[in-house]
Amino acid sequence: MVQCPVSTLFKMKKNLIIQIVIFFSMTTSAQIISTPDKIYGQLFTDVQLAKIFPDGKTFVDCVPKRNPKQIVADYLKIKKNPAIRFSLKRFVEENFELPAAPQLNYVTKETDVKEHINNLWNVLKREKDKAVTGSSLLPLPNSYIVPGGRFHEIYYWDSYFTMLGLKESKEYDLIENMVKNFAYLINTFGHVPNGNRSYYLTRSQPPYFSLMVKLLADIKGEQVYKEFLPALQKEYDYWMLGASTVKPGQAFKSVVKLKDGTILNRYWDESTTARQESYRDDIETADEAVKHMLASTTFADGKKAETAAKKLRLKLYRDLRAGAASGWDFSSRWLADGQHLSTIQTTDILPIDLNCLLLNLERTLEEAYRISGKENLRKQYNTLAYKREQSFRNVFSCAELHYYSDYNFVTKKSTGIAAASSVMIVSYLTEPNPEGMIGHGNSTAAFIRKYLLKEGGILSTAVSTTQQWDAPNGWAPLQWIAVTTLEQTGQKELAKEIAMRWIKLNKEVFARTGKLMEKYNVVDTHLEAGGGEYAGQDGFGWTNGVLLALMNKYKIK
């Protein structure tokens, strides 16, 4: 036996200790916070599979009226006694406070939509939270705005577009509180969760924190960049984890390194189980995918078929979760056949919007380090931003569309989906002269007019499916992205045209219903938007924010 010298053993032991310390330092609270499935076990499974509530989100948002352990013990005792007849729904209602939609208590009396929005801020506002044992809500230390409807918590990318309206309403303190909340989430969990719920901790959403910081800096001054620099850096580290070690042609979590060494990002979720808030739906989707695979594939024996089915199910659950992380849950952007949710492949795709937002984060870090006087770090992020931007033209160019589209790094092909998210890219491409930006503006205008422009604004995608982020639906954040991008590239006429169509649609629906909706049918403006996993919601945070910002931008009363 070869014996190691004492010094070598000491070094090995020291390195092992360092690695253990690093591991535990990276282990966030997300891994020790109990989620509804862990807290309620069999009760959670039974409630979600029985679908005693039309919306799978209802039970996971319930608040227990007493100790959760005692509730579970009582449930199992009743369940195991065949002599006891009981209603599962009644048991839940007796032991939990069900979530209510606060805005339903608000009766719209305003006829002026701006007045309505300004009054709604107080309806949608939540003060700092208190922790409740057994609740899935992650308490936030400052006040914030929720979207409305079934959504009783903050959502990451929603909040930026809500803040646009808060700025118009001069709710500056509330904007600052919300930015502080997101910094708190980053510092506590290492990233901004999809929303402040325990069951959202395994994923994030489109990273708009850097734009939130800029919004606040425009109000309070550039010192804001220094104040939130640690949180900006930590968020970047979250998205780029593994970038220095992943090999060409491989992926690690959110990071993908192409064969030529180009590093870009994808949406990701740490879990491979059915989403707790859509538990039964995800299981049914996975069942459909497995059924199709078994019917179309020949296996040598049952064991191999079982292994393949398990592998497919785990991949599908992660892709459904990653689709939710994208904020586009769900869309033909993520579907292999462009139609069926059972073909979802989100983690195979490099999305344009995500990579634009990370480029913005790199440029924001560059600016923050400049303000902080850290020139070496400023140069580092200038280089990273330059490299990411240079990759955009090669990776995202789509000959079929004569524009840009998401890229499937597994098939090594453009997805060819005409989506409003692609429009964002041209505002991040720097050009040596004005003619370059004019060219981007012309191609963007042609793309929008050919594929996306409709009576009520622009479509999410040009593809019609049963998913809510496809035709015929339009969403507020996509209108804002299109309008601001067209403005930046000299297409002011089309920018205003889209804004006017969207404003008109929002105001007409408000006049008919007294509501501002989560999404709209932009093809037939007399019909409601549809599709997706739940009914249309009113409230609505980002619709209010974008509408108010657009109306003020174009001086519409």
Residue 414 within a domain: no
Selected catalytic residue, list 153, 277, 518, 538: 518
d(CA 84, CA 78): 6
Q: Decide if 522 is inside a domain.
A: no
The residue out of 338, 372, 404 marking a domain boundary is: 404
Q: For residue 19, which amino acid is it? A: Q
Average of pLDDT values for 267-281?
A: 98
Residue 200 lies in a domain: no
pLDDT confidence tier of residue 101, bands split at 50, 70 and 90: low
Of 89, 178, 77, 161, the C-alpha closest to 125 is 178
Selection from 85, 79, 81 nearest residue 40 by Cα = 79
Is 282 among the domain residues?
A: yes
Instruction: Report the half-sphere exposure of 17 (CA within 13 A, side-chain side).
Output: 6
pLDDT for 104 equals: 52
pLDDT tens figures, 139-172: 999 999 999 988 999 999 999 999 999 999 999 9
**264 DSSP β-pair partners:** 256
Q: Are 138 and 191 in contact (CB under 8 A)?
A: no
Is residue 9 pLDDT above 50, yes or no?
Answer: no
Q: Is 435 a catalytic residue?
A: no
pLDDT at position 12 is 43
Q: What is the DSSP letter of 102?
A: G
Q: Are 124 and 103 in contact (CB under 8 A)?
A: yes
**Total structural domains within the chain:** 2
Three-class SS state of 473: strand
Q: Are 469 and 331 in contact (CB under 8 A)?
A: yes
Cα 137 to Cα 197: distance, rounded to the nearest angstrom: 5
Contact 84, 78 (CB under 8 A): yes
Give pLDDT, residue 23: 39
Q: Which amino acid is at 99?
A: P
Query: What tokens were used for 217?
Result: 């800096």
Long-range contacts of 336-339 (CB under 8 A, 24+ apart): 338/417, 338/463, 338/465, 339/465
Query: Does 124 reside within a domain?
Result: no
Q: What local confidence, expressed as pLDDT, does residue 530 receive?
A: 79
pLDDT of residue 107: 77
**CA-closest candidate to residue 485, choices 537, 429, 411:** 429
Q: Please state, in angstroms and rounded to a whole number, the distance separating the CA atoms of residues 257 and 255.
A: 7
- 47-56, 59-68, 69-78, 425-434: segment of lowest average pLDDT: 425-434
In a domain, 391, yes or no: yes
Q: What is the pLDDT of residue 25?
A: 46
Burial 192-226 (b: 16+ CB within 10 A, else e): bbbbbbbbbbbbbbbbbbbbbbbbbbeeeeeebbe
Contact 125, 174 (CB under 8 A): yes
Return the SS3 of 322.
Answer: helix
* Rounded Cα gap, residues 499 and 358, in angstroms: 26
Q: Is 158 a catalytic residue?
A: no
Mean pLDDT for the stretch of residues 217-234: 98
Using pLDDT thresholds of 50, 70 and 90, give the confidence band for residue 27: very low
pTM of the model: 0.93
Structural domain of 68: 33-99
Contact 75, 90 (CB under 8 A): no
Q: 520: which strand partners?
A: 474
Task: Give residue 224's identity as a one-letter amino acid code.
Answer: V
Residues in contact with 391: Cβ distance below 8 Å, sequence separation at least 6, in sequence order: 262, 264
- Please tell me the predicted confidence (pLDDT) of residue 85: 82
Flag the least confident range among 102-116, 298-312, 496-510, 511-525.
102-116
**AA identity, residue 216:** L
- In the prediction, which pLDDT does 84 show? 83
Q: Is the pLDDT of residue 3 over 80?
A: no
SS3 call for 150:
coil
Task: Read off the tokens for 424.
Answer: 């964002």
- pLDDT, residue 279, reads 98
Nearest Cα residue to 409 out of 258, 268, 265, 260: 258
pLDDT at 308: 96
Q: Which of 129, 277, 282, 329 is catalytic?
A: 329
pLDDT of residue 295: 94
State how beta strands 413-414 and 397-398 pair: unpaired
Of 47, 82, 99, the residue that ends a domain is 99
Average pLDDT, the chain: 93
pLDDT at 534 over 90: no
Q: Is residue 232 part of a domain?
A: no
Q: How far apart are CA 279 and CA 121, in angstroms?
A: 32
Please tell me the predicted confidence (pLDDT) of residue 83. 84
Two tokens, residue 246: 């992943």
Structural domain includes residue 509: no
Q: Is the pLDDT of residue 435 over 50?
A: yes
What's the pLDDT at 200? 98
Q: How far apart are the C-alpha atoms of 322 and 333, rounded to whole Å?
A: 12
Cα–Cα distance measured from residue 332 to residue 330, given in angstroms and rounded to the nearest whole number = 7
Among 79, 99, 119, identify where a domain stops. 99
Residues sharing a CB contact under 8 Å with residue 302, sequence separation 6 or more, in sequence order: none
Structure tokens at 435: 């003619």
Cis ω for the linkage preceding 141 (within 30 of 0): no
Tens of pLDDT, residues 393-411: 999 999 999 999 999 999 9
What local confidence, expressed as pLDDT, does residue 105 receive? 56
Task: Give 488-528 pLDDT, tens digit per residue.
Answer: 999 999 999 999 999 999 999 999 999 999 999 999 999 98
